[in-house]
Amino acid sequence: MIPGSEATACQRPAAPDPAPAPRLRGHLHLEARARPDGRTILARQSFRAPFHISKPHWNGHTLHVQVINPTAGILSGDSLEMRVHATDRAALSVTTPAVTRAFTMLDGTARSSQSLHVAAGAFLDFYPEPLCPHRDTSFLQKTTIHCARGAQLVFLDALAPGRAGRGELWAWRRLQLALDVHLDGRPVLVERLDAAGGKLAAAARFFQTPSAWLASLIAVSPRISSIDTLAAAITSLHGDGIRLGLTALDPDLLAIRLAARDGQTLRDTVAAIRQHLASAIPHLRADLRKL
Amino acid sequence: MADAARWVGAFLQTADSFYPTGTYAHSFGLEGLLEAGTVTDLAALRTFLLDHALPPLADTDLPLARLAWEAADTPIDWPRLHHLSHLGAAMRGTAEVRRACLAIGSQRADLASRLHGGLAAEFNRRATAENWPRPSAIVAAIEGRTLGAPLEATLAGIVYAAAAAFASAAVKLLRLGQNAVHTLLADALACAPALIARAAQKRIEDLGTFNPWWDIASARHETANFRLFIS
């Protein structure tokens, strides 16, 4: 080839095989502790990509930690581990700024393990944006919650049906979501979703919400189920575009399930539920700057 | 044949419609789904039963009963039975369905203890003394062991009990003929071998199910102004 001339397509060296996507083994460990003046601090923190956290911020009610994924989403082979401890009298809010995307995976699987511990007298608000599984993704997540008797917790697990804006619904290859909730050392709720998108699509059609955004909200607080007006107020949010059921699985635990026609309806309803719950759990009055 | 003659009669008694377990008073969420407009005719009932109600048995009651059956072998693993009893309660996603499962299980455990003694009596004594929940699937396994019924028959009995409970509740909730309901029940029972085979693959950490629509309907039924069934 003449120096300076451009190589034609047939003269160019063959492009090397694409390198396999990096597989991240990330972790996030947080331990929140109350200072003598009542404010909560992170006594311990450790994280590795794809986890990153914002600068913790005391908002007057809780220490707010925003968990950020700088890779924009979850890729095949990723293995994520999160452990959050709220120790005695600590008040911690953990949020994410955007939906968690489980990207298309031509093969392989990504895994996530979440472990939340809340001590007696402590409060944990786990309030992430929904999980959005993309076409052909395969994502396995196990969440284990341990609450001591006397703990307070608000936990949200929300699932988008896919990239709804582009009409991609229930298109994932496999989604396994496991949730174990223990109260005072005993299992009080065990749920397992393990299904291809098509299977959940058939269920969504049969139950007359073909593009449902689904969520479970778990609220733990001493004697929360005995507040009659609270359950009635939350239950009354059921209506056009939102199906909502509330049940008390323990005197200290409410489980609220939602099926919404779209993401905004789900977001608005969850915000309204949290406002009602704030009558029993004043830490929820914190402004987490959610739209 | 002689072995079967020893347990078949007593086993059939436990599945009889006048065996006093209180099952007749429950719809296990079906009435809530009727109120929600989801199950309103035979076709929808068929889809609900065959596609949504029975398949989760392979992830919940059937493997739970199998594990309890194995734990009840000599030497009996009582701590394991204790753990499985709590797990069986925790797998029910609404308070109403959980109470139904435990009330029926307790009634069956009391009856099995009184009628047959042996393992059933010892299980019931421990569960009562230590305040264990008594989920119906665990009790079915203990009952089957006590009677000498084989595991497969015990598990098929669980499928029958679940399908028959929905079918008998449906007769009271929908305009259905008995022939149509028994045709559906026969189709449901035909699923039993596949469900039992799938349940055999399950590990204890895999147990559980999730159907938010059914849970929502059941949860709303708890505070409905008008109810024919307790659940």
* Residue B20, pLDDT score: 85
Q: Which domain holds residue B204?
A: 28-221
pLDDT digits (tens, 9 = 90+) for A68-109: 987 779 999 999 999 999 999 999 999 999 999 999 999 999
Per-residue pLDDT in tens (0 to 9) along chain B, 231 residues: 458 888 999 999 998 888 888 888 899 899 999 999 999 999 999 999 999 999 999 999 999 999 999 999 999 999 999 999 999 999 999 999 999 999 999 999 999 999 999 999 999 999 999 999 999 999 999 999 999 999 999 999 999 999 999 999 999 999 999 999 999 999 999 999 999 999 999 999 999 999 999 999 999 999 888 888 888
pLDDT band at A22 (very low <50, low <70, confident <90, very high): low
CATH of the domain at B112: 1.10.4190.10
Please give the pLDDT value at position B2. Answer: 55
- Among all residues of chain A, which has the CA nearest to that of B94? A247
pLDDT value of residue B227: 87
pLDDT beyond 80 at A1: no
The interface residues of chain A toward chain B in range 18-77, judged by CB-CB distance below 8 A, are none
Which residues in chain A have their CB less than 8 angstroms from residue B219's CB?
A: 245-247, 255, 257
**CB proximity under 8 Å: A 247-286 to B:** 247-249, 255, 257-259
Q: pLDDT tens for residues A163-205?
A: 999 999 999 999 999 999 999 999 999 999 999 999 999 999 9
Nearest-Cα distance to chain B for A206, in Å, is 7
Flag whether pLDDT at A35 surpasses 80. Answer: yes
Q: Is A121 left (phi over 0), alpha (psi -120 to 50) or beta?
A: left
B145–chain A Cβ distance below 8 A for any pair:
no
Residue A17 has pLDDT above 70, yes or no: no
Beta-carbon separation of B95 and A247 below 8 A = yes
pLDDT of residue A12: 47
Task: Determine, yes or no, domain membership for B11.
Answer: no
Q: Does any CB of chain A come closer than 8 Å to the CB of residue B201?
A: no
Q: Return the HEC string of chain A.
A: CCCCCCCCCCCCCCCCCCCCCCCCEEEEEEEEEECCCCCEEEEEEEEECCCEECCCEECCCCEEEEEECCCCCECCCCEEEEEEEECCCCEEEEECCCCEEECCCCCCCEEEEEEEEECCCCEEEEECCCEEECCCCEEEEEEEEEECCCCEEEEEEEECCCCHHHCCCCCCCEEEEEEEEEECCEEEEEEEEEECHHHHHHHHHHCCCCCCEEEEEEEECCCHHHCHHHHHHHHCCCECCEEEEEEEEECCEEEEEEEECCHHHHHHHHHHHHHHHCCCCHHHHCCCCCC
Q: What is the pLDDT of residues A108-140, one digit of tens each?
A: 999 999 999 999 999 999 999 999 999 999 999
- Has residue A277 got a pLDDT over 80? yes
Is position B165 within any domain? yes
Q: What is the mean predicted confidence (pLDDT) over A51-58?
A: 93
pLDDT of residue A75: 93
Gap from A258 CA to chain B (nearest CA, Å): 7
Percent of chain A with pLDDT over 70: 92
Residue A281: closest CA among A171, A147, A166:
A147
- Asked whether the beta carbons of residue A188 and residue B90 sit closer than 8 angstroms, the reply is yes
Q: Is the pTM of this model over 0.90?
A: yes
- Are the Cβ atoms of B216 and A249 closer than 8 angstroms? no
The model's confidence at residue A20, banded by pLDDT at 50, 70 and 90, is: low
Q: Does B219 contact chain A (CB < 8 Å)?
A: yes
Total structural domains within chain B = 1
- Taking CA atoms, A13 is separated from A2, A18, A20, in Å, by 15, 14, 20
Chain-chain contact of B209 with A191 (C-beta, under 8 angstroms) = yes
- Cα distance from N-terminal residue to C-terminal residue, chain A: 59
Residue B13 lies in a domain: no
A191 at B interface, C-beta within 8 A: yes
- Write out the two tokens for B83: 């753990």
Per-residue pLDDT tens for A217-237? Answer: 999 999 999 887 999 999 999
Strand, coil or helix: B210 = coil
* A37-46 residue pLDDT tens: 999 999 999 9
Pick A259's closest partner by Cβ from B59, B213, B218: B213
pLDDT the model gives residue A19: 52
